[in-house]
Structure 1
Amino acid sequence: MKKVITLALSLIPMVSDAALPPDVSWQTNNHEPLFASPDAKFGGTFRTSIDSFPQTFRTVGPDGNGRFRTWLLDGQPQLLQRHPDSLAWIPDIATHWAFGNDNKTIYMKLNPAAKWSDGVPLKATDFSYMLKFYRSKDIFDPWYNIFYTEMFDQINALDAHTIEIVFGKEMDKEDLLYFSHRLKPRPEHFYKPNQDANQDGVDDNFVRLYNFKPEPTLGAYHVGDIKKGKSITMEHAGKEWWGYSNRYYQHRYNPEKIRIRVIRDQDIAFKHFEKGDLDAFALGRPELWYDKTNSAPFQKGYIHKFWGYNQTEIGAGSFWLNTAKPQLGDRNVRKGIALALDIDGLNQNVFRGDFSRKPQGLGVGLGAFTNESLKPLPYDPQAAISSFTQAGFDRVGADGIRVNARGQRLSFAVTYSNQVMTPQLAYLKEQAKAAGLELTLNLVDGSSAFKYVLEKKHEISYHSMGSAPRPQYWEYFHSENANKPQNNNFTNYSTPQLDELIMKYRSVFSTKDKESLSREIQQVVHDANVIVPGVMAPYTREGYWRWIKYPDQPMQKKMEQLMTISGLYDLGLYWIDADVKKETQKAMKKGQAFEPVTIMDNQYKPR
């Protein structure tokens, strides 16, 4: 890994000396390897799909944490980035950074070229407004209110392009970088708080006013044309996008538009892909990769297949057990459910052995933050029966399902969001019967499913969350979020012990101590059996029409997907070759074929 360059203040005269400590030393890093291809071509429209129209275009407040958020906010620029391979800190919105002497303060120098997608220049005050915005009660989002009040003391604009971030507690330098690098500003000019609003700078009617009004972005893409219920088009800021002044952004985000159609059924979406109406498609499901790719467009070489390994972080989840629901508050019941779910059989019989079992429910691949000693409970119907018996389900009904002395059946609904998951859950449902457990399938369409789970209506929810390089536990397991809607405590589980550990985790100074506490928290949650870990795939599998091109070395270590198929999480390395598209369409009309192509990128495959 290359060393970070340190520059003396005298070399960077943009900041007023009066606003900064006299001995401040700026750092930057413009010497990591580039990962985009200089052969990339700008232009064209990339076509993809989603299975439901978003509940809102807000990214905070009720329903603001839905799937479409990855397009609106999560994939947009932030203060700093990690290089996707070396993991070194590199510039993003900020070009330089420096540390104060109090272990609480970090300074960031913003790229003066940065502009919002509506053409308004980014101001340092957009970051101080961000803090005011997230603390406002008018956004109706307690997580943001609490986190940004407790984590940050203040964010100050020192001049037009320099900010001072002061945290509420002392941290080592690595933590100062980590907890500041992901900050994304809010465009103060866009919200124009009305003069009668509270003094928090956010309109009293924020939730209603901005429900379907997407805010400007700093990224290459912003929301353009909207056909409600049918499609959303993300439009590029153009070749003059300010981000291209950053060497790490050059030759990336090449399509001029990304058109996202709403296709509720994934099998129907795949047919659209085969016809050429979509440019790429996720082939993670074994029946897609192995079976449905035997069709003519693949065999004639019009559509190519890609399998690339990565080493990305795996987020929390699989089966979340809502302890606020009857019977699920009993640990013996939860342990019995974990023992009655045949996850390994699911992998072998439904996923064809391509996946691996998650060792525990709070995520993996997080370095020393991950408790490597944890192992999932195996499928064991007899052990499950023993646990259920201890919980009082000591008899079997005429239908084979266990009941307790009050005649209550051992039956729980599993909520999920997509029809493609039905065969997976149907397999588990059949296997669970051997332990006297009934699982009923509760399919809730797309974004409505996440809303259903956020409102804590589920008994068991089958979903996983994304993950940052460092796990966050307060939102998932602190008592502040238990038995309240619109937050990520999907299990409604909390204990005084967990509260204490979580608050220590948030407050300790050193990264090493934080890692130790993380492992301890994971052990406690693991022992509580509130999340049953499912399967994971350390790779991406995608199909794409042959006019889609990408670098000779496609994958990076922390690259989730090669192409934009489920949000702006990818690195934007691909491009559309218009000449190859014409060539392909001409060949199809004439019935001409090309050689079938399957690309395997094993650089980051586990050894």
Structure 2
Amino acid sequence: MKNMLKLSAVAIIAALGSAAQAAELPADLTWVSNMEEPLFASPEAKFGGTLRTHMASFPQTLRSVGPDSNSGLRHHFMDGVPKLAGRHPNTGKWIPQLAQEWAFGDDNQTVYFKLDPSARWSDGEKVTADDYLFMLKYYRSKDIISPWYNDFFTNKIEDVVKLDDYTIAVKSVAKMTNDELMVQINLPSNGLQPRPEHFFKPKKDENNDGIDDNFVRRYNFKSEPTTGPYFMDKVKKGKSVTFKHVGEDWWGYSNRYYQNRYNVEKVRYTVIRDSDIARKHFEKGNLDTFGLVLPSLWHEKANTKPYQDGYIHKFWGYNQVVQGAGGLWINTAQPLLDDRYVRAGVTYATDFDGMIANVLRGDYARKPHGMGFGHGGYDRSDNKAPAFEPEVAAEYFAKAGFNKIGPDGIRVNAGGERLSFAITYGYQPHTPRIAYLKEQAKKAGLELTLNLVDGSSAFKYVLEKKHDLAFINMGGGEIPAYWEYLHSVNAKPQTNNHTNFRSPEMDKLIDSYNKEFDLEKKQALSHQIQKVVSDEFLIVPGYMVPYTREGYWRWLKYPTPAMTKQTSSLFSVVDLATFWIDEEDKKATLSAMKKGKTFEPVTVIDDNYKL
């Protein structure tokens, strides 16, 4: 049930600046809060304890924007902290986060938000409308060296207007439905996130934009305050980072949807570069949880003595999270790969289906399109990933001039160039998958070499556009984003246009898509964009994993049911974070281990949201 209030337009107009006045405000506004949706956390949750986990490499920056921030800990400072509102993970309705309620203008561009006056930054400062005004300057500044954010907050967000200390109006450049406006404003990775002006005070500001001219260098390893429950407490460069809870008096707990969540007091990430070594640390009790998504881990290696003795439990939970773009991104700016026939050949010579069946035990599913899956009407109904057909690949390669087979079985052209490309990837356990693609590609006369680049450095390598083929899956929102991946202005380093694709036709489609208000027309444009991606062979559609699988020591607890439709990771403090640590159970378990006492093995399967 929606909670609704009326606010006279006279009061709003008196407080609004000129930009919002131009929106022709209605006589009254209907304020919505949706405060009666079902809860998904458990009242049995307990506060306290330290979650011990790991990461494969130390982040190259602590900044949430700018160079290298995508591969760092941005999710702690941006993606996983409160927005103005968020989707309920099961019903999909918008529920309060930093805003207590919101209302829509009749112009289909403006949304009004009443901020929660109890909201605080992790350093204790109040969150006010001024932080949103500063946010606009921050994201539009060239000093942050982040073209994507510069564009989004210039060409998507027209203005943010302060009505009073705790009321703002946000105006979109394009007209949208109410739901689309809320999606654009509250996107996890790039939604309107207040920025703490008191923290980002510039020392040097020759541009007079309120942002330090040396922003990137100055804040490279400075931990910024957040509105979330955790702040970065300790940093041991190259070794570990520790986040600490603000405390049980965190402002968010006044919101019923945040109660009984974010229950652990600390989270310690230890750098363990080798996954097998990390798994051994986990099985010794040095880490509390370990991901078991890899088929080899779940089916083979998660059966050691700690599992058999019931000290470690296994969990497999299905979700309905939107699948982002991904697979093999083909860098069209590299020699030979600028030829559509070569890209077509690479596509038909890549055996993802065989990889899923033979290497991944059939656990994963194939993405029907390189731009992802789960966007409803935005996805073409006829999207289907190209099958592995080496004969078809050979025909395309021959059209590109590679019509001879060399002594090593790899195709060559008249100039003696071999048909050889490197696949860049950043996770050592993926090596068998890439190796499978390599062996299968030989059947079409294509050589694929393996370019393993350590951890976060792999994404940096791809951002700098050094790759031939990039084995990457990106996150995705419910409304597909195309500008960052496919627009010509982003065919340059430090952007997400991993294919380096340039096309006036595509640019026109994307620009029209971004401006279109009519839902049917917008979805039709989305279909056209996806068709160009397919026709130009830009991304070989990869696989998707619509579930989480995790091993955990038996002192970790979670609600029943554990999963929601949007739970991507059960034991993460930047996801829904409904789990907790039972310290008494931990003491009892450790005591039992010393005495040789065992428990029944436990494997939990939560398939409530299996598609």
Q: Who is 2:192 aligned against?
A: 183
Q: Output the CA distance in 1 between the equivalents of 2:237 and 2:262.
A: 25
Kept after mapping to 2: 8 A contact 1:136/1:202: yes
Aligned to 2:22: none
| Cα deviation, residue 17, structure 1 | 6.9
1:4 equivalent in alignment to 2:2? yes
1:5 Cα offset (Å): 2.9
CA distance in 1, matches of 2:541, 2:307: 34
- Per the TM alignment, residue 8 of structure 1 is displaced from its structure 2 partner at its CA by 1.9
| 1:202 matched to 2:211 | yes
Q: 2:543 aligns with which of 517, 535, 543?
A: 535
- Flag as ranges the 4+ runs of structure 1 deviating above 4 A: none
Query: Structure 1 residues 531 and 569, CA, compared in 2 at 3 Å: closer, same or farther?
Result: farther
Conserved? CA contact 2:204–2:214, under 8 Å: no
Q: CA RMSD in A?
A: 1.5
Choose which of 391, 402, 406 in structure 2 pairs with 1:382: 391
Matched, 1:508 2:503: no
Offset at residue 332 of structure 1 (A): 1.1
Structure 2 counterpart SS, 1:174? helix
Q: Which amino acid aligns with 1:311?
A: Q
Q: Pairwise mapping of residues 461-472 of structure 1 onto structure 2 (< 5 A)?
A: 461-472=470-481
* SS of aligned partner of 1:154: strand
Q: Which residue of structure 1 aligns with residue 371 of structure 2? A: 362
1:152 aligns with 2:157: yes
Residues 1:499 and 1:17: Cα distance change in structure 2 (over 3 Å): closer
1:463, CA displacement in angstroms?
0.9
User: What residue number does 1:547 align with?
Assistant: 555
Shift of 1:195: 6.4
Residue aligning to 1:332: 341
SS in 1 for 2:169: strand
**Pairing 1:161-172 to 2, within 5 Å after superposition:** 161-172=166-177
Aligned residue for 1:227?
A: 236
Counterparts of 1:357 and 1:169, CA distance in 2: 34
Which residue of 2 is the match for residue 559 of structure 1?
Answer: 567
Query: Are 1:318 and 2:316 an aligned pair?
Result: no
2:247 to 231, 238, 255: 238
Counterpart of 2:512, as a letter, is: K
User: Which residue pairs with 2:92 in the alignment?
Assistant: 87
Q: Give the equivalent residue in structure 2 for 1:604.
A: 609
2:19 maps to what in 1?
A: none
1:331, 1:529 within 8 Å by CA — same for their partners in 2?
A: yes
- Contact 2:60 2:72 survives alignment (8 Å): no
Cα distance in 2 between the residues matched to 1:586 and 1:17: 66
Partner amino acid for 2:563?
M
Greater shift in the superposed pair: 210-219 or 517-526: 517-526
Instruction: For residue 174 of structure 1, report the CA deviation from its aligned partner.
Output: 2.0
Alignment partner for residue 19 of structure 1, among 10, 15, 21? Answer: 15
Mapped contact 1:253–1:573 kept (Cα < 8 A): yes
How far off is 1:43 after superposition?
Answer: 0.2
Give the TM-score taking structure 1 as reference length: 0.96
* Candidates 51, 56, 67, aligned match of 1:51: 56
SS at match of 2:69: coil
Q: Which runs of 5+ in 1 are unaligned?
A: none
Q: How far apart, in 1, do the equivalents of 2:204 and 2:552 lie?
A: 51
Contact 2:174 2:514 (C-alpha < 8 Å) held by counterparts: no
The answer (yes or no) to whether the contact 2:62–2:72 under 8 Å persists in 1 is: no
Question: What is the CA-CA distance between 1:153 and the residue it aligns to?
Answer: 1.8
1:528 partner amino acid: E
Q: C-alpha offsets along residues 122-173 of structure 1, whole Å, 9 cap, x if unaligned?
A: 0111011101101111111111112211112211121111111122232222
Q: Which amino acid aligns with 2:553?
A: W
| Residues 22-31 or 343-352, more deviating | 22-31
Residue number among 126, 140, 153 corresponding to 1:135 in the alignment: 140
Match of 1:68 among 62, 69, 73: 73
1:18 counterpart letter in structure 2: A
Report the counterpart of residue 581 of structure 2 in structure 1: 576
Segment of structure 1 superposing worse, 142-151 or 116-125: 142-151
Structure-1 separation of matches of 2:5 and 2:59: 45
* Residue in structure 1 matched with residue 506 of structure 2 by the alignment: 498
* Matching residue's letter, 1:171: M
Match of 2:466 among 457, 473, 476: 457
Whole-angstrom CA distance in 1 between matches of 2:303 and 2:381: 40
CA distance in 2, matches of 1:446, 1:522: 30
Residue 403 of structure 1: aligned partner: 412
Q: In 1, distance between residues paired with 2:408 and 2:204?
A: 65
8 Å contact 1:54–1:68 — kept in the other structure? yes
Q: CA deviation at 1:67?
A: 4.2
| Local SS of the residue matching 1:107 | strand
Alpha-carbon displacement from aligned partner over 1:18-58 (angstroms, at most 9, x marks no partner): 32655122111101100000000000000111100001011
- Residue 309 (structure 1) aligned with residue 318 (structure 2): yes
Deviation at 1:198, TM superposition (A): 2.3
- Superposition deviation, residue 569 in structure 1: 4.1
* Distance across 2 between alignment mates of 1:442 and 1:92: 42
Q: 1:25 to 1:443 in 2, by over 3 A?
A: same
- Cα-to-partner distance string for 1:317-343 (whole Å, 9 max, x where unaligned): 111000000111111111111111111
Structure 1 counterpart SS, 2:329: strand
Instruction: Name the CA distance, whole Å, in 2 between partners of 1:103 and 1:470.
Output: 17
1:294 aligns with 303
1:535-588 deviation line (CA, Å, top 9, x unaligned) = 111111111000000001101011111111xxx442000000001101110111
CA distance in 2, matches of 1:312, 1:191: 34
Distance 2:415 2:232 in 1: 55
Q: Secondary structure at the match of 2:594?
A: helix
CA distance in 2, matches of 1:242, 1:569: 17
C-alpha displacement of 1:376: 1.1
Aligned length: 598
SS at match of 1:592: coil
- Report SS of the residue matched to 1:27: coil
> CA separation in 2, counterparts of 1:556 and 1:186?
30
How far, CA to CA, are the matches of 1:582 and 1:588 in structure 2?
A: 10
